[in-house]
C-alpha cells in the first residue's frame, strides 16, 4: 500500500514539471506579447504665413503617424538641423489631427533661420520632419545726423551746431542769448547757464517784447528735419537735466524753418516739474491749433530722456509720437509733410514760466546724447 502512494506522487511531480515549461535549462521565458513598432510621423510644409523683423509664422501638416501624438510644434536655430535642445515653439493652433500653425518671436533681424517640425508621442518618442529655411527682414539702417559725440569738444560742436536761435538772440522771454553762456564739460555734456543782470539792455525783439533781465544760451542744429517720401521717418531724442523753479524755461523743440507754425515741443518746463509736449499747427501765427500733453516728471533735475518719433502717415500728415524715459506719452498729428524744421535747445527765462522781473539769480540746464536720425523707409 505504501509503495503505490509513492509511485503516484512521483508520477504527478513529473507530469507537473513537464506541463510548466518546455524551455531549455538556462533560457528565460515570457508570456508578454511583443510591442508593435510605433508608426513614424511624417509632415508636409504648407506655408510661411508671415515674416517680419523679429517674428514669423509657419504652417505644417501631419500626414501620417497621427496616433498617440501628445505635442507638436517646431524647433529652430540659426544653425542647420535643429533639435529640441535648440529653440522650440509649440503649435498655437491645430486643425483636427493634421495641420498646425506655429509663431516664432524674439528673432534677430536679417538672419537665416532653420526650422524643423516635430511631434512627440505619448511614449516619449520624437519624430522630426524635413528642414525648411527663411530669412527675417533686415531692419532699415538710419542716416544719423547727430549723436553723443557732437558735444565732445568744440570742434565737433561747431561741425554740427550753431549758436543762438536760427533767427537771432531774442525770443519770447526775458533772456537774451550769448555765446559765453554755453559750455562743454569735455565729457559729452552741454551746459547752458542763465544769469540775471540788472544792466539795462532794452527789450526783447520778439513778442511779447519783455525787458531783458537775463543772459542765457541757445543752440540749433545745422541739419534740418524734413519728413517726405525720401525720409519718411525721423527720430529725435536727448537726455536733459533741467531746473524747475519759477522763472526757468528750458526747452528741446523743433520749429518751422520757413514759417511758424509748425512746432513740436519735445521737452519744455515752465517754472515747475510739469513737462509740456506740444504740437502746433495752423495756416499762420494768428491762427493756430495746439495739441498739448502734460506729464509730471519727478526729480527733473536728474537725467531724463525725451524723444520724438515723427513719421509720414499720408500725403500731407505725420504722426508725432512723444516719449519720456522710453514711455510713450502721446501721439499728435500735423500737416507737416514737406515742411522743414530747426532743432533747438535753449534756456529761456520768465515769460510763460512766471517770475516776471523776479526770477532766480542764476540757473543751469544740461544736455547729452542728442540723437537725430532719419530712415529711408518706415520701420
Residue whose C-alpha cell is 529655411: 133
Q: Which helix (H) or strand (E) holds 318?
A: strand 318-324
Q: Are 244 and 272 in contact (CB under 8 A)?
A: yes
Is residue 38 among the annotated active site residues? no
Which residues touch 118 (CB under 8 Å, ≥6 apart)? 72, 73, 74, 75, 84, 88, 126, 127, 128, 129
Residue whose C-alpha cell is 523743440: 253
Catalytic residue among 263, 298, 321, 364: 263
Q: How far is the C-alpha of 344 from the C-alpha of 353, rounded, in Å?
A: 18
Catalytic residue among 49, 198, 201, 268: 268
Is residue 263 among the annotated active site residues? yes
CA distances from 104 to 27, 50, 51, 115, 308 (A): 54, 10, 9, 10, 30
Q: Are 59 and 100 in contact (CB under 8 A)?
A: yes
Question: What distance, in Å, lies between the first and last C-alpha atoms of the chain?
Answer: 109
Supply the residues annotated as catalytic: 263, 268
Amino acid at each position: 500500500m505504501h509503495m503505490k502512494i509513492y509511485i503516484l506522487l512521483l508520477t504527478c511531480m513529473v507530469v507537473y514539471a513537464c506541463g510548466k515549461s518546455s524551455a531549455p535549462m538556462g533560457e528565460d521565458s515570457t508570456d508578454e506579447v511583443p510591442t508593435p513598432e510605433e508608426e513614424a510621423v511624417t509632415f508636409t510644409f504648407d506655408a510661411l504665413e508671415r515674416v517680419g523683423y523679429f517674428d514669423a509664422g509657419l504652417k505644417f501638416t501631419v500626414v501620417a503617424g497621427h496616433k498617440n501624438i501628445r505635442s507638436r510644434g517646431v524647433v529652430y536655430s540659426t544653425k542647420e538641423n535643429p533639435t529640441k535642445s535648440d529653440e522650440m515653439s509649440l503649435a498655437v493652433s491645430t486643425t483636427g489631427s493634421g495641420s498646425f500653425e506655429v509663431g516664432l518671436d524674439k528673432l534677430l533681424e536679417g538672419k537665416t533661420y532653420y526650422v524643423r517640425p516635430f511631434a512627440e508621442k505619448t511614449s516619449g518618442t520624437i519624430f522630426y520632419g524635413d528642414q525648411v529655411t527663411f530669412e527675417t527682414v533686415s531692419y532699415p539702417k538710419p542716416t544719423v545726423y547727430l549723436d553723443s559725440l557732437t558735444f565732445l569738444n568744440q570742434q565737433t560742436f561747431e561741425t554740427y551746431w550753431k549758436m543762438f536761435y536760427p533767427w537771432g538772440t531774442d525770443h519770447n522771454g526775458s533772456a537774451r542769448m550769448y555765446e559765453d553762456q554755453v559750455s562743454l564739460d569735455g565729457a559729452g555734456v552741454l551746459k547752458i547757464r542763465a544769469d540775471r543782470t540788472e544792466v539795462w539792455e532794452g527789450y526783447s525783439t520778439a513778442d511779447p517784447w519783455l525787458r531783458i533781465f537775463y543772459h542765457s544760451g541757445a543752440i540749433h542744429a545745422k541739419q534740418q528735419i524734413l519728413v517726405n517720401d525720401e525720409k519718411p521717418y525721423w527720430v529725435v531724442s536727448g537726455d536733459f537735466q533741467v531746473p524747475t523753479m519759477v522763472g526757468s524755461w528750458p526747452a528741446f523743440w523743433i520749429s518751422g524753418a520757413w514759417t511758424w507754425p509748425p512746432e513740436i515741443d519735445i521737452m519744455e518746463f515752465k517754472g515747475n516739474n510739469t513737462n509740456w509736449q506740444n504740437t502746433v499747427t495752423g495756416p499762420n501765427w494768428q491762427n493756430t491749433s495746439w495739441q498739448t500733453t502734460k506729464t509730471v516728471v519727478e526729480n527733473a533735475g536728474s537725467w531724463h530722456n525725451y524723444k520724438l518719433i515723427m513719421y509720414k502717415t499720408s500725403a500731407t500728415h505725420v504722426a508725432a509720437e512723444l516719449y519720456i524715459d522710453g514711455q510713450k506719452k502721446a501721439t499728435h498729428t500735423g500737416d507737416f509733410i514737406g515742411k522743414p524744421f530747426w532743432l533747438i535747445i535753449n534756456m529761456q527765462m520768465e515769460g510763460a514760466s512766471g517770475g516776471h522781473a523776479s526770477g532766480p539769480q542764476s540757473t543751469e540746464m544740461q544736455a547729452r546724447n542728442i540723437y537725430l536720425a532719419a530712415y529711408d523707409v518706415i520701420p
